[in-house]
């Protein structure tokens, strides 16, 4: 992730890539076959690969020999290559969350139902119904919710129950998470706390970076400060995950809002993917804290914390968009 | 033992166990996966003393006749008990003929996946009647296979009269010859089982491959041929982060899978050679062409491109290595291991059958009528491929953006580097749609989400949008690098700089941008939004403009150049012809009215093979002949190269040209057979050409191996290229440059192409130098 590559470009190789890839494969294999054993083995091997990677990184001191290359030429001239790399990586993360978001909005606005409805509305008008296509659509789906009876009337019976609902029951269009969450102050609270926790944790990463770069501090004080700020970040992130799980539990058990409804699928997978990003961030953070603990950060290599921070800010930003879209809308 | 040996050995061990376990895990009667292949198969494990018998089998069958068979499971340890719920179950398969319910058993047994199984009601029994109607062809032997379970969840056992949740299943197998096969005078040629052929071919391929590895190791240093040396050598390849070595890994991997994908193609071309053929079953056909498409795109074309990108990009821009060498190695290993997931199902006879486009709602369907069970693994493999490509995409873009040597400015960068840059920018910005799309699919199949399930309001068209939002950029990801190679090869061969360099760059960038807003042309018949359909029609037609600019620039580069006919030149010229034809057939589709006729016919198959084989593959072959000397220090044999080119070029057209006609006549793609006799003639011709084309690739394989030791030696710059890769030794040192070099102007080395303007030169027909 952020402090990827401290290879000096001399050529000792690294075991990390092959081990981590093998772990990923076994993990996915186990998950597909619903075999907890293999899943766990895969995960273990994946972590082993990560450790191997970090072992190589621990002595990183920010020198060019250790792989901190400088970029030349437009557009990044003078910037560290790793920083350009993390920005590029974040671009693809933007697309990842953009996809989540686009698919969700498509569902929420009934985009695909909408235009088949338009066809039907036109058909109804051709058959003598009054109004325009737009007005019929508005009657059928005021505020994106479905009004079956009014719609049937407006289209002279053309768009009836069987247009909207399948034999196995109503499509779960309108039961979105926000309905339950916004119903009550106490259900909204965890999400609100989480939002603040993440924003605050973005701030503490910046403080850690500032401390690490501060040459006026005595090394011992500096190390302690860096470690403490990072630890606060870790705790805030952990709080986030705990509250999230608590909230999921609440939605599932008290409201029966499960993953097997359409809105539930989107809600749990999207917020879950965000949660995984937070979790991965925390895993990396433990490495940073360990390095701070042994006094590994100073002004020469603290940019690694900065790059980590870029990722962490991104995760924060993603949440700031997810929260209103999934919890309030 | 030293640490290396332990590590190499244990990693190899895990890999082989994984290989071996894949088919084992999945050959239980449950089949693959957790999703209910119902029948006795809701349980696994516990094979024991259960016996399965089938009564009523004749000694030989008469074609078309029906037989009433009684299947019984029994187990002395789990004696009858009282009739109770869930006391037994079975599944019954035959390689030919059809099954039906036995008399009075219509509620108790049902059809499932081409065989029979019990129903919910029927699992209260341990004996069932089914009918089997023999196939018409009496000259064959029909194989029967049955799995029976004497417990099936919770039968009542006599001792404690409580539910027994264990399992005890057994298997029955028999062969039943037809009357003619039994000395009725007809000569019986036992039918080859194509599935076994495929497995055998792949196993053989892997064995051959391992042997080849050992041989290569031996040839490298005959004196050091011992276990220590071998693990040391393997360790080097398993841990390498050097861009040239990772490039070599990519290349070997892609070539192996090019051959495997080719084997699949040969097998199903045999099936399609004549009307009503039954060489492959429908299921086998489906999973073979799924694997063929996916393999060719993701495991052959893209890795081959990545191989050259790895090898050449740092050399061309004068960098010591890629920006993130370890991430680069990770990209390769993710790819390599994903192939296990993709192929896991095939090994177990449950290969994914969802085509490379993986369309929902079939791909997310489970159970008997759904996609085959290996699909889950397959989708997991696609996710892993997505991770792999994202890693390498970020890496290449970062490298080109930050590590260009002095003189390699954006507008002086070699076109191959430009093409890789644009291709990877497209790739890594479109991949997220695929990753998320397949993640949705994966969760639909594993943890019970309903993204694509229309029954609860989910949206199958969402899949098509997500897939093609990735899929169309993807086809440019595989063609742009070929554009780059052809630009390099043609300008070097014509001994002049590329005509209209700037317009080439803008065309690449233009394609890169336009490529993102045309995906809907794959969905014109899907029932998508009509407004979007209109927009996509128009934008798709626009793509032809930058593509046309490139083609005319290549032609103008040749104009007035003094062309040298090396093998790579031939491939590039071949590319110009075949790719242009593919581009022209592509222009038929954006017209929605025409596409309604063409969609999902062989016309589409002809189109994309002209662009993928005639475009991407020819381009990459050109690259092989062009850069092999740089990588190895020896040239490939030109005579073998000429032979390879001629055969492939002719056979390629023989294979794909007739498909246009079949498509126009309405032959649908993705069907395992057809009943229109008049199509047989063209199809047999296609199959023959395909076999010839497949075999011709062995010439290349041989050439690659032979020239490694015996090719003609060459210096730094065998072809007269001008860009930085030709300024370093062949093979280059590690790190690839000791001193960061400075690039000079192309035109110092070549006849400048646009002095005097395009038209004056073209009309006058300027003499070079
Ligand atoms: C002039 C440029 C091109 C145009 C206008 C074009 C247009 C199209 C259209 C509209 C389709 C969908 C046809 C249908 O399914 O009914 C299609 C299919 C396809 N094209 Fe192209 N194409 C072009 C170039 C390329 C290139 C350069 C490649 C790849 C190297 C490519 C690869 C494919 C593939 C793989 C399919 C089949 C997808 C499937 O499995 O359904 N095309 N093309
Ligand atoms: Cu397309």
Position A275 in a domain? yes
Q: What's the rounded Cα separation, in Å, for the pair B166 and B44? A: 9
The most confident of A143-152, A280-289, B103-112, B725-734, by mean pLDDT = A280-289
* Residues in chain A closer than 8 A to B384 (CB atoms): 24-25, 28
Chain A residue with Cα closest to B453 = A262
Q: How far is the CA of B517 from the centre of ligand 2 (A)?
A: 10
- A210 and A150: one domain? no
B169 and B263 both lie in a single domain: no
A198 and A296 together in one domain: yes
Domain-embedded: residue A79: no
CATH, residue B142: 2.60.40.830
Closest CB from A53, A81, A100 relative to B402: A81
The residue contributing the CA closest to ligand 1 atom 36 is B608
Same domain for A289 and A314: yes
> Is B2 a domain residue?
no
pLDDT greater than 90 at residue A65:
no
Residue B5 covered by a domain: no
Looking at residue B16, its pLDDT comes to 63
Pair A273, A231: CB distance under 8 Å: no
**Residue B24 pLDDT more than 50?**
no
Q: Is the CB of B586 under 6 A from ligand 1?
A: yes
In the reported structure, the alpha carbon of residue B397 is separated from the centroid of ligand 2 by a whole-number distance in angstroms of 23
Q: Which of B404, B533, B550, B599 is catalytic?
A: B550
A254 and A132 in a common domain: no
CA distance B477 to chain A (A): 16
Do B176 and B310 reside in the same domain of the chain? no
What pLDDT does residue B41 have?
39
B617 has pLDDT over 90: yes
Q: Is the residue at B658 inside a domain?
A: yes
Same-domain status, A126 and A183: no
B203-224 tens-digit pLDDT: 776 777 777 778 778 877 777 7
User: What does the alpha-carbon distance between residue B504 and residue B492 come to, in Å, rounded to a whole number?
Assistant: 16
Asked if residue A323 and residue A186 are part of one domain, the reply reads: yes
- Output the pLDDT for position A148: 84
Task: Kindly indicate the confidence band of residue B572, based on its pLDDT and cuts at 50, 70 and 90.
Answer: very high
What's the domain count of chain A?
Answer: 3
Over 60: is that where the pLDDT of B144 sits?
Answer: yes
Task: Kindly state whether residues B441 and B577 are assigned to the same domain.
Answer: yes
Ligand nearest to the CA of B583: 1
Q: In this model, does residue B407 exceed pLDDT 80? A: yes
Nearest CA to ligand 1 atom 22: B586
Helix axes B501-514, B460-494, angle to 10 degrees: 170
Task: Judge whether A79 is closer than 8 Å to chain B, CB to CB.
Answer: yes
pLDDT at B198: 62
Ligand 1 atom at minimal distance to the Cα of residue B599:
16
What is the torsional sign of CA B240, B241, B245, B248? positive
* Confidence at B81, pLDDT banded by 50, 70, 90: low
Predicted model pTM = 0.81
CA distances from B598 to B290, B530, B594 (A): 21, 19, 6
Element (H, E) at A266: helix A262-293
- In a domain, residue A81? The reply is no
**A212 Cβ contact list (under 8 Å, min separation 6):** A222, A226, A292, A297, A298, A299, A302, A305
**pLDDT band for position B75 (cuts 50, 70, 90):** confident
DSSP string, B338-394: HHHHHHHHHHTT----STTTT-TTTTT--STTSS-TTHHHHHHHHHHHHHHHHHHHH
* B269 and B329 housed in the same domain: yes
List the CATH number of the domain containing B591.
1.20.210.10
- Note whether residue A98 is domain-resident: no
Minimal-distance CA residue to ligand 1 atom 39:
B357
B187 and B244 part of one domain: no
C-alpha span between B687 and A55 (Å, rounded): 55
B127-131, B560-564, B682-686, range with the lowest pLDDT:
B560-564
Mean pLDDT calculated for residue range B645-663 = 96
Q: Give the pLDDT score at B43.
A: 42
Answer whether residue B475 shows pLDDT above 50: yes
User: Comparing A240-249, B17-26, B341-350, B361-370, which segment has the lowest mean pLDDT?
Assistant: B17-26
Do both B173 and B244 map to the same domain?
no
Q: Are residues B159 and B247 in the same domain?
A: no
> Of the segments A53-57, A306-310, B728-732, which one has the largest average pLDDT value?
A306-310
Chain B nearest-CA residue for A49: B330
A5 and A33 co-located in one domain: yes
Find the CB nearest B334 among A13, A24, A71: A24
> Do A158 and A184 sit in the same domain of this protein?
no
DSSP string, B229-248: HHHHHHHHHHH---HHHHHH
B181/B299 same-domain check: no
In a domain, B10, yes or no: no
Can you give the three-state secondary structure of B283-340, one letter per residue?
A: HHHHHHHHHHHHHHHHHHHHHHHHHHHHHHHHHHHCCCCCCCHHHHHHHHHHHHHHHH
Ligand lying nearest the CA atom of residue B519: 2
Average pLDDT, chain B: 83
pLDDT tens for B500-514 read 889 999 999 999 999
pLDDT for the residue numbered A186: 79
Considering only residues B201 and B343, tell me which one the structure prediction assigns the higher pLDDT.
B343
Looking at the predicted structure, is the pLDDT value of residue B701 above 70? Answer: yes
Q: Are residues A214 and A136 in the same domain?
A: no
Burial degree of A134 (CB within 10 A; 0-12, 13-18, 19+): exposed
Residue B426 has pLDDT above 80, yes or no: yes
Angle at B748 (CA atoms; ends B745, B751), nearest 5 degrees: 115
User: Which range is least confidently modeled, A40-49, A156-165, B726-735?
Assistant: A156-165
Query: What was the pLDDT predicted at B161?
Result: 41
pLDDT score for B98: 85
Q: Which of residues 207-246 of B touch A (CB under 8 A)?
A: 235-236, 238-242
* B289 in the same domain as B179: no
CA of B536 to the centre of ligand 2 (A): 10
Residues in B touching A98 (Cβ below 8 Å): 432
Is B457 close to A173, i.e. CB distance below 8 A?
yes
Answer yes or no: do A290 and A237 share one domain. yes
Atom of ligand 1 nearest to the CA of B598: 16
For residue A47, the enclosing domain spans 1-57
Whether B430 is catalytic is no
Residue A143 lies in a domain: yes
Number of independent structural domains in chain B: 2
Query: Looking at the CA of B612, which ligand is closest?
Result: 1
Give B32's pLDDT tier (boundaries 50, 70, 90): very low
* Residue whose tokens read 């719609």: A151
**Sheet containing B169-177, strands listed edge to edge, beginning at the edge strand earlier in sequence:** B109-112, B115-118, B89-94, B141-149, B169-177
Q: Is B131 inside any structural domain?
A: yes
Percent of the residues in chain A that have a pLDDT greater than 90, as a whole number = 44
Whether A11 and chain B come into contact, CB under 8 Å, resolves to: yes
Do residue B432 and residue A95 have CB atoms under 8 angstroms apart? yes
Supply A80's token pair: 């560290």
Same domain, B316 and B435: yes
B409/A73 touch (CB, cutoff 8 Å), yes or no: yes
Query: Is B663 close to ligand 1, i.e. is its CB under 6 Å away?
Result: no
Domain with B179, as residue range(s), is 51-191
Residue A188 and residue A274 in one domain: yes
B442 and B531 share one domain: yes
State mean pLDDT over B651-669.
95
B475 CA distance to ligand 2 middle (Å): 7
Same domain flag for A149 and A202: no
Greater model confidence, A176 or B664: B664
Query: Does residue A19 fall inside a structural domain?
Result: yes
* The last residue of a domain, from among A153, A170, A187: A170
Residues of B in contact with A172 (CB under 8 A): 456-457
Compute the distance from residue B586 Cα to the ligand 1 centre, in Å: 6
Is A28's Cβ below 8 Å from some Cβ in B? yes
- Residue B473 · residue B426 · CB < 8 Å: yes
* B412: in domain: yes
Of B22, B50, B389, B723, which residue is the catalytic one? B389
Candidates B338, B350, B394: best to mutate against A (most CBs of A within 10 A) is B394
Q: Among this protein's residues, is B669 annotated catalytic?
A: yes
Beta bridge partner(s), residue B156:
B163
pLDDT of residue B46: 45
Chain A residue with the nearest C-alpha to that of B390: A92
Q: Measured from the CA of B522, which atom of ligand 1 is nearest? A: 12
pLDDT in tens, A176-228: 788 788 877 878 888 899 999 999 999 999 999 999 988 888 888 999 999 99
CATH number at residue A259: 1.20.120.80
pLDDT of amino acid A280: 94
Residue B716 placed within a domain: no
B contact test, residue of A33, A45, A119 with most B CBs within 10 A: A33
* Best residue among B298, B589, B590 to mutate for probing ligand 1, ranked by most atoms within 8 Å of CB: B589
Best mutation site among B467, B521, B599 for ligand 1 pocket (most ligand atoms within 8 Å of CB): B521
CA of B500 relative to ligand 2 center, distance in Å: 27
Which of B330, B429, B436 faces A17 most closely, judged by CB atoms?
Answer: B330
Same domain assignment for residues B148 and B263: no
pLDDT at B95: 80
Instruction: State the pLDDT confidence band at B234, using cuts at 50, 70 and 90.
Output: confident
- From A66-80, A165-179, B310-324, the region with the lowest mean pLDDT: A165-179
**Which of A35, A69, A92 lies at the smallest CB-CB distance from B390?**
A92
Evaluate whether residue A105 is within a structural domain: no
Residue B644 in contact with residue B701, Cβ under 8 Å? Answer: no
CB pairs under 8 A between A and B: 235
**What is the pLDDT at residue B722?**
82
B447 has a pLDDT exceeding 50: yes
A17 found inside a domain:
yes
- Identify which of B304, B354, B426, B475 to mutate to test ligand 1's pocket (most ligand atoms within 8 A of the CB): B475
Distance of alpha carbon A146 from alpha carbon B42, whole angstroms: 40
Query: Is B179 within a domain?
Result: yes
Give the CA distances from residue B675 to residues B54, B596, B671, in Å, rounded to whole numbers and listed in that order.
35, 22, 11
């Amino acid at each position: 992730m952020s402090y990827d590559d401290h290879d000096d470009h001399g050529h000792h190789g690294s075991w990390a890539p092959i081990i981590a890839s093998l772990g990923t494969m076994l993990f996915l294999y186990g998950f597909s076959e619903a075999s907890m054993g293999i899943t766990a083995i895969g995960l273990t091997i994946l972590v082993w690969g990560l450790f191997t990677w970090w072992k190589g990184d621990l002595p990183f001191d920010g020198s060019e020999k250790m792989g901190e290359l400088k970029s030349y030429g437009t557009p990044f001239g003078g910037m560290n290559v790793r920083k350009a790399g993390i920005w590029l990586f974040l671009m693809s993360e933007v697309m990842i969350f953009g996809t989540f978001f686009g698919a969700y909005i498509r569902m929420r606005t009934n985009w695909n139902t909408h235009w088949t409805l338009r066809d039907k509305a036109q058909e109804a008008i051709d058959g003598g119904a009054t109004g325009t296509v737009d007005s019929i659509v508005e009657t059928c789906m005021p505020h994106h919710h479905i009004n079956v009876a009014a719609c049937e009337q407006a289209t002279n019976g053309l768009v009836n129950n069987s247009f909207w609902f399948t034999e196995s029951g109503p499509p779960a269009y309108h039961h979105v998470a926000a309905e339950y969450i916004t119903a009550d102050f106490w259900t909204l609270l965890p999400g609100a706390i989480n939002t603040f926790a993440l924003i605050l944790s973005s701030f503490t990463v910046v403080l850690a970076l500032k401390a690490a770069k501060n040459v006026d501090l005595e090394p011992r004080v500096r190390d302690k400060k860096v470690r403490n700020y990072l630890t606060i970040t870790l705790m805030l992130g952990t709080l986030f995950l705990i509250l999230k799980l608590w909230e999921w539990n609440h939605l599932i058990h008290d409201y029966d809002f499960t993953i097997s409804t359409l809105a539930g699928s989107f809600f749990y997978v999207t917020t879950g993917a965000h949660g995984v990003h937070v979790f991965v961030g925390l895993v990396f953070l433990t490495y940073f804290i360990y390095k701070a603990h042994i006094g590994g950060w100073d002004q020469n290599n603290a940019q690694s914390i900065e790059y980590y921070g870029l990722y962490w800010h991104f995760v924060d930003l993603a949440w700031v968009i997810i929260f209103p879209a999934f919890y309030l809308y | 033992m030293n640490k290396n040996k332990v590590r190499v050995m244990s990693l190899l061990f895990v890999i082989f166990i994984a290989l071996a376990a894949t088919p084992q895990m999945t050959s239980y009667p449950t089949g693959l996966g957790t999703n209910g292949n119902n029948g006795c198969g809701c349980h696994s494990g516990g094979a024991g003393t259960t016996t399965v018998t089938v009564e009523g089998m004749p000694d030989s069958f008469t074609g078309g006749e029906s037989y009433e068979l009684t299947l019984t499971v029994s187990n002395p340890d789990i004696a009858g008990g009282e009739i109770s719920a869930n006391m037994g179950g079975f599944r019954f398969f035959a390689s030919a003929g059809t099954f039906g319910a036995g008399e009075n058993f219509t509620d108790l047994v049902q059809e499932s996946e081409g065989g029979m199984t019990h129903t919910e009601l029927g699992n209260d029994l341990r004996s069932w009647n089914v009918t089997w109607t023999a196939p018409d062809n009496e000259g064959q032997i029909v194989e029967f296979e049955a799995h029976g379970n004497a417990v099936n969840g919770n039968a009542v056992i006599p001792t404690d009269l409580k539910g027994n949740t264990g399992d005890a299943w057994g298997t029955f197998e028999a062969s039943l010859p037809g009357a003619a096969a039994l000395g009725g005078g007809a000569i019986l040629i036992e039918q080859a089982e194509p599935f076994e052929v495929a497995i055998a071919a792949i196993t053989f391929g892997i064995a051959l491959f391992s042997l080849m590895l050992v041989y290569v190791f031996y040839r490298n240093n005959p004196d050091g041929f011992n276990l220590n040396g071998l693990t040391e050598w393997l360790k080097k390849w398993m841990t390498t982060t050097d861009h040239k070595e990772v490039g070599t890994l990519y290349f070997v991997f892609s070539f192996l899978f090019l051959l495997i994908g080719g084997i699949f193609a040969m097998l199903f071309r045999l099936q399609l050679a004549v009307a009503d053929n039954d060489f492959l079953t429908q299921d086998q056909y489906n999973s073979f062409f799924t694997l063929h498409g996916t393999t060719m795109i993701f495991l052959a074309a893209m890795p081959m491109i990545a191989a050259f990108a790895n090898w050449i990009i740092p050399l061309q821009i004068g960098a010591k290595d890629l920006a993130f060498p370890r991430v680069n190695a990770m990209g390769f290993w993710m790819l390599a291991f994903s192939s296990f997931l993709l192929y896991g199902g095939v090994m177990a006879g449950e290969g994914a059958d969802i085509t490379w486009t993986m369309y929902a709602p079939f791909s997310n369907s489970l159970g008997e009528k759904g996609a085959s069970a290996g699909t889950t693994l397959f989708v997991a493999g696609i996710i892993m491929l997505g991770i792999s490509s994202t890693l390498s995409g970020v890496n290449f873009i970062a490298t080109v953006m930050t590590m260009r040597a002095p003189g390699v400015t954006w507008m002086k960068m070699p076109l191959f580097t430009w093409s890789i840059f644009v291709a990877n920018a497209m790739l890594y910005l479109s991949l997220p749609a695929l990753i998320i799309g397949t993640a949705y699919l994966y969760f639909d199949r594993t943890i019970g989400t309903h993204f694509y399930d229309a029954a609860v309001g989910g949206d199958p068209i969402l899949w098509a949008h997500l897939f093609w939002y990735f899929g169309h950029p993807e086809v440019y990801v595989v063609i742009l690098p070929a554009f780059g190679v052809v630009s390099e090869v043609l300008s070097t061969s014509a001994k002049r700089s590329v005509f209209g360099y700037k317009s080439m760059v803008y065309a690449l960038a233009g394609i890169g941008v336009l490529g993102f807003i045309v995906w809907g042309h794959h969905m014109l018949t899907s029932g998508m939004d009509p407004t979007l359909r209109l927009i996509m029609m128009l934008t798709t037609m626009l793509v032809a403009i930058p593509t046309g600019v490139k083609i005319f620039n290549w032609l103008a580069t040749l104009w007035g150049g003094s062309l040298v006919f090396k093998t790579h030149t031939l491939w590039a010229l071949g590319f110009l012809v075949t790719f242009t034809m593919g581009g022209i057939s592509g222009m038929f589709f954006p017209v929605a009215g025409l596409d309604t006729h063409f969609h999902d016919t062989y016309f589409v198959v002809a189109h994309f093979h002209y662009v993928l084989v005639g475009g991407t593959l020819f381009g990459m072959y050109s690259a092989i002949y062009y850069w092999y000397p740089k990588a190895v220090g020896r040239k490939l044999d030109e005579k073998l190269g000429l032979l390879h080119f001629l055969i492939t070029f002719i056979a390629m057209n023989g294979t794909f040209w007739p498909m246009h006609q079949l498509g126009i006549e309405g032959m649908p793609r993705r069907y395992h057979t057809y009943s229109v006799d008049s199509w047989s003639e063209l199809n047999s011709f296609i199959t023959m050409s395909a076999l010839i084309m497949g075999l011709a690739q062995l010439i290349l394989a041989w050439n690659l191996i032979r020239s490694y030791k015996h090719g003609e030696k060459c210096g730094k710059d065998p072809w007269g290229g001008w860009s930085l890769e030709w300024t370093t030794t062949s093979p280059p040192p590690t790190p690839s440059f000791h001193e960061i070099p400075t690039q000079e102007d192309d035109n110092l080395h070549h006849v400048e192409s646009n002095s005097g303007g395009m038209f004056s030169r073209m009309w006058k027909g300027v003499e070079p130098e």
